[in-house]
Amino acid sequence: MARKPIIAGNWKMNMTRAEATALIEALKPLVKDATSDVVICVPYTDIDVAVKLCAGSNIKVGAENVAWAEKGAFTGEISADMLAELGTEYVIIGHSERRQYFGETDATVNARLKTALGKGLKPIVCVGETLDQREKNRTKTVIRKQVQLGLEGISAEDMASVIIAYEPVWAIGTGKTATSEQAEETIKFIRGVIAKMFDRKLANKVRIQYGGSMNPKNVKELMAMPDIDGGLIGGASLKAPDFSQVVNFDK
């Protein structure tokens, strides 16, 4: 029941088109022999150039968000059709920065997820606790709720293409990684929640990434854990040598 690892970059609000071009050109030869799925989630304005440059390579392109509505009066939003038309394959949903700064809730995560799945995009759904929640021993309660509400009403068939990213908020961009044991414990817990919602067989197929200061130095140890199936990489995805070392963690 081997799950293929998936390493995804999350560029966040970085990389002009010129910078994106240079990064992707540098990255392509460095990751071409990867045994994992390789994805770069890029700003909307970089998607078309990224899809063109990655064509014929093993790098897939994702967006960092998607609207829940199909179309209409939603100023500033980008629809799933618009993303699919450009050749976008993946999309991050519910990143903690969206939750923290842009009012994202479990309900909007769920709505975006359903729309993304309906349009054939492969979602990367993010969950994670804050430092305060961890210190108050609320990690499992918080994560269970995010997973249950985020995935509410998703069919087992659709669930097969959903990827979960466990990203403790206190580890994002802080240089503080969760220990491999902490990450494994919570990811295993998430797999258990999915098993209860669906069934164990399906839960064992779902890929669950770790995210939060994953880098060339800690990737091996994290990826050695049995339930960690990849990474969602912020800072270390912005430099070709760093991201390629994460991708090639098993080389």
* 233 in contact with ligand PGA (CB under 6 A): yes
Specify whether 95 is catalytic.
yes
Compute how many residues bind ligand PGA; rule: CB under 6 A.
13
Amino acid at position 88, single letter:
T
Compute the distance between CA of residue 113 and CA of residue 94 in angstroms, rounded to an integer: 9
Q: Which residue in 95, 97, 129, 184 is the catalytic one?
A: 95
67 Cβ contact partners less than 8 Å away, ≥ 6 residues apart = 74, 77, 78, 79, 80, 112, 115
Q: How far apart are CA 156 and CA 178, in angstroms?
A: 30
Task: Tell me how far, at minimum, the Cβ of 174 lies from ligand PGA, in Å.
Answer: 7
Ramachandran sector of residue 125 (left: φ over 0; alpha: ψ -120 to 50; beta: rest): beta
Stretch that binds ligand PGA, among 24-32, 63-71, 167-175, 243-251 (CB under 6 A): 167-175
Site for ligand PGA contains 10 (CB under 6 A): yes
Catalytic-residue membership of 167: yes
Q: Is 173 in the site for ligand PGA (CB under 6 A)?
A: yes
Tokens encoding 235: 């800072």
Q: Binding residue for ligand PGA (CB under 6 A) from 191, 211, 230, 240?
A: 211
Tell how strand 122-127 and strand 37-41 pair up: unpaired
Question: Which of residues 118 and 173 has its CB atom nearest to ligand PGA in the complex?
Answer: 173
Binder to ligand PGA among 43, 94, 168, 235 (CB under 6 A)?
Answer: 235
Sign of CA dihedral 145, 109, 188, 211: negative
Stretch that binds ligand PGA, among 42-50, 112-120, 189-197, 206-214 (CB under 6 A): 206-214
Q: Where do we find the tokens 């339930």?
A: 227
Cα–Cα distance measured from residue 5 to residue 184, given in angstroms and rounded to the nearest whole number:
15
124 is a contact residue toward ligand PGA (CB under 6 A): no
Residue 230 sits in the site that holds ligand PGA (CB under 6 A)? no
User: What SS3 class is residue 207?
Assistant: strand
Based on the shown chain and the rule CB under 6 A, indicate whether residue 212 belongs to the binding site for ligand PGA: yes
Catalytic residue among 64, 104, 129, 167: 167
User: Which residues are near ligand PGA by CB under 6 A?
Assistant: 10, 167, 172-173, 211-214, 232-236
Q: Which residues are catalytic?
A: 95, 167
